[in-house]
């Protein structure tokens, strides 16, 4: 709030004096009040213009509504293509803030133009580190591009006002020149900000804010080197999925066909999340289906697998979401799972907590049985236990 108000005062420079006076009258007390009450140094409390980022904070004041600019959309599209076509390597720091606190992941990334991406986690807190070869064998869906892919850019343009915020620099990478693109919500709040390399348009940094202007994720790509110094040699046995790769993205027709086979395939989830991806893979317990939902920024993956949750899940703790008892993976609680009507649902999300909870609430859950139903079920179980011919 402090930074937002101060930024608003800065953005009004050059406007008529009376407008500046009104802005100061509103923002200065807010700045003082918030500065006295808000704890300092919490990254999660960083607001859109307080991240210490240059240039991008100097944009115009946020109006009630914005419209996407062709330049901004074009820049993001170029960035998505650059993530595939450009050869690069560097380090990426991904930070997430949620109910369980802050989670930071540092990875080395190596990508060959049109080829594979290799990711190696070098510091991940509670996570283990190990080399990891991307499942993206054709280079069409590279990882580590800060969420700037063609499908997500199209969704972003649909759900947000994508605007060009001017030139800037990436502080974490020797002030590398960048172009800044912002995504704004309809209510006039900033949702995300992208720094694109000025020369290659490769995404170098991204910040995502929730509707309350809290920073919920930050990805920074630094020590970036461009070029193609050597071809990738996939490590022996170092495939991403020992149980078999995921299929190519399913077409809309294939996804609809899955419904006929008993799979749950909603076309959307609460929060304006649209179904934009689907894939299947084989596990030791049968087929697993992944459905990807997004609005361009928030991404929720819903995994389905036939069966029932195993008893005594290790590494999961019971919690309640929207009145439903589910299990959350420890320690970061980014994964949620439960079973209902013979299907195990697992949700992974990069989205605000409210969005994740709304998505979980919209999926099937078993309601607790009534008294008589529970009693009859119990008698049936007791009878089965003492049945000698069972």
Partner 1 sequence: MSHLGDRLSALVDGELTGAERDRASAHLAGCAQCRAEVKQLRALKQKLRSLLDGAPAEAAMTRRLISMTGPGGPLPPRRRLLRVMPGGRAEPGQGLHTSTRPGTRRPRPARRRYLFLGTVSLVVGLGTAAFTAGGGGQAVPGPRITPPVELYSVQHAIITGEVPFSGPSSRPGSHAFAPGSGAPQP
Q: How many residues does the chain have?
A: 390
- 3-state secondary structure at position 47: coil
Nearer to partner 1, 158 or 285 (CB): 285
Residue 123 as a binder of partner 1 (CB under 8 A): the answer is no
Residue 252 as a binder of partner 1 (CB under 8 A): the answer is no
Strands (E), 176-214: 176-184, 190-197, 203-209
Nearer to partner 1, 60 or 307 (CB): 307
Asked if residues 307 and 320 have their Cβ atoms less than 8 Å apart, the reply is no
Of 240, 264, 275, 362, the one binding partner 1 (CB under 8 A) is 240
Residue 386 as a binder of partner 1 (CB under 8 A): the answer is no
Q: Which 65-84 positions form the footprint of partner 1 (CB under 8 A)? A: 83
Please give the full DSSP string across 24-65, using - where no structure is assigned: HHHHHHHHHHHHHHSPSS-GGG--TT-S--SSGGGS----S-
Residue 142 as a binder of partner 1 (CB under 8 A): the answer is yes
Q: List Cα–Cα distances, 184 to 2, 153, 362, in angstroms.
A: 19, 14, 26
Q: Which 312-341 positions form the footprint of partner 1 (CB under 8 A)? A: 313-315, 329, 332, 334-335, 337, 339, 341
- The first and second tokens of residue 164, run together, are 């060009």
- 3-state secondary structure at position 388: coil
Pairwise CA distance, residues 219 & 201, whole Å:
16
Pairwise CA distance, residues 216 & 210, whole Å:
6
- Window contacting partner 1 (CB under 8 A); options: 22-30, 52-60, 87-95, 262-270: 87-95
Q: Which 215-234 positions form the footprint of partner 1 (CB under 8 A)? A: 219, 223, 225, 229-233
Nearer to partner 1, 71 or 313 (CB): 313
Q: Which 156-175 positions form the footprint of partner 1 (CB under 8 A)? A: none
Cβ at position 314, least distance to partner 1 in Å: 8
- The first and second tokens of residue 186, run together, are 């309809």
Q: Which 343-372 positions form the footprint of partner 1 (CB under 8 A)? A: 344, 346, 348, 350, 366, 369, 371
Residue 129 as a binder of partner 1 (CB under 8 A): the answer is yes
The upper half-sphere exposure of residue 64, i.e. CA atoms within 13 Å in the direction of its Cβ, equals 0
Of 68, 149, 169, 179, the one binding partner 1 (CB under 8 A) is 149
Q: 329: burial class by Cβ within 10 Å (0-12, 13-18, 19+)?
A: middle
Q: For partner 1, how many residues bind (rule: CB under 8 A)?
A: 103
Nearer to partner 1, 44 or 334 (CB): 334
Asked if residues 169 and 148 have their Cβ atoms less than 8 Å apart, the reply is no
Nearer to partner 1, 257 or 366 (CB): 366
- Window contacting partner 1 (CB under 8 A); options: 13-21, 45-53, 267-275, 373-381: 373-381
Contacts of 313 (CB under 8 A, 6+ apart): 327, 337
Q: Which 284-303 positions form the footprint of partner 1 (CB under 8 A)? A: 285-286, 288, 290, 292, 294, 299, 301, 303
């Amino acid at each position: 709030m402090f930074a937002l108000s101060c930024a608003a005062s800065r953005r009004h420079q050059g406007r008529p004096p009376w407008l500046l006076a009104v802005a100061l009258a509103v923002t200065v007390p807010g700045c003082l009040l918030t500065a006295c009450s808000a704890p300092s140094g919490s990254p999660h409390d960083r607001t859109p213009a307080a991240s210490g980022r240059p240039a991008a904070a100097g944009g115009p004041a946020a109006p009630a509504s914005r419209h996407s600019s062709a330049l901004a959309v074009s820049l993001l599209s170029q960035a998505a293509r650059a993530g595939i076509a450009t050869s690069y390597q560097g380090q990426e720091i991904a930070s997430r803030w949620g109910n369980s606190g802050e989670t930071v992941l540092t990875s080395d990334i190596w990508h060959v133009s049109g080829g594979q991406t290799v990711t190696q986690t070098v510091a991940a807190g509670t996570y283990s580190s190990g080399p990891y070869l991307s499942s993206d064998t054709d280079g069409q869906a590279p990882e580590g591009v800060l969420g700037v892919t063609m499908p997500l850019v199209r969704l972003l343009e649909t759900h947000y006002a994508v605007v060009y915020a001017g030139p800037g620099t990436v502080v974490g990478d020797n002030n590398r020149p960048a172009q800044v693109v912002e995504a704004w919500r309809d209510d006039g709040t900033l949702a995300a900000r992208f720094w694109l390399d000025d020369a290659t348009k490769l995404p170098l940094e991204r910040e995502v804010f929730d509707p309350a202007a809290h920073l919920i994720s930050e990805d920074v790509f630094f020590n970036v080197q461009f070029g193609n110094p050597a071809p990738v040699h996939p490590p022996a046995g170092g495939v991403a999925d020992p149980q078999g790769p995921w299929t190519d993205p399913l077409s809309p027709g294939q996804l609809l066909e899955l419904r006929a086979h008993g799979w749950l395939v909603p076309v959307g989830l609460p929060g304006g999340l649209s179904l934009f991806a689907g894939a299947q893979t084989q596990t030791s317990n049968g087929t697993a289906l992944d459905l990807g939902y997004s609005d361009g920024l928030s991404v929720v993956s819903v995994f389905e697998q036939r069966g029932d949750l195993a008893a005594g899940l290790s590494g999961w703790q019971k919690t309640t979401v929207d009145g439903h008892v589910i299990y959350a993976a420890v320690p970061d609680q980014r994964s949620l799972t439960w079973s209902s009507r013979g299907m195990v649902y697992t949700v992974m999300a990069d989205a605000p907590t409210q969005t994740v909870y709304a998505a979980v609430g919209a999926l099937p859950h078993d309601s607790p049985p009534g008294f008589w139903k529970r009693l009859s079920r119990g008698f049936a179980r007791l009878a089965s236990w003492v049945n000698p011919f069972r």
